[in-house]
């Protein structure tokens, strides 16, 4: 998943190397999700980097997910090599909450408090 420009400062300088190691050394180019995304895989997800996804048929680009949604936290146990569908599904609730906060800030911008 691309890093949003406003969040780049939150990632360590060696993030590309960390992500590469997680995806291709630890995970051997395969999605590590075993249900963290709340989708049923029947074990480990079968997606492999640069091959057709077993469900969607689209080319898999393996990503590295932060399980606690904190980019500064690059501990091994907080990182998961994930195919795009698993990563997006895992992050769905977090993305929805972030979008709701953004909408609220935009809605109330410039408004005078009532009390």
Cβ contacts of 33 within 8 Å, gap of 6 or more:
41, 44, 45, 80, 82, 83, 86, 90
pLDDT of the residue at 93? 73
Mean pLDDT, the chain, whole residue set:
87
56 inside domain: yes
59 inside domain: yes
State yes or no: pLDDT of 98 exceeds 80: no
94 inside domain: yes
3 inside domain: no
Tally of domains within the chain? 1
Cβ contacts of 80 within 8 Å, gap of 6 or more:
22, 32, 33, 36, 64, 65, 67, 90
Burial of 15 (0-12, 13-18, 19+ CB in 10 A): middle
Tell me which residue range forms the domain holding 50: 10-108
Q: pTM of this prediction? A: 0.79
State yes or no: pLDDT of 95 exceeds 70: no
């Amino acid at each position: 998943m691309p890093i949003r420009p406003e969040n780049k400062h939150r990632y360590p300088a060696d993030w590309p190397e960390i992500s590469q190691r997680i995806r291709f050394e630890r995970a051997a180019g395969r999605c590590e999700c075993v249900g963290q995304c709340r989708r049923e895989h029947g074990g480990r997800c079968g997606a492999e980097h640069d091959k057709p996804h077993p469900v969607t048929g689209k080319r898999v680009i393996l990503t590295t997910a932060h399980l606690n949604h904190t980019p500064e936290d690059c501990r091994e146990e907080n990182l998961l090599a994930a195919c795009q569908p698993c990563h997006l599904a895992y992050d769905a609730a977090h993305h929805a909450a972030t979008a709701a906060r953004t909408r609220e800030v935009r809605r109330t911008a410039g408004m005078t408090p009532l009390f």
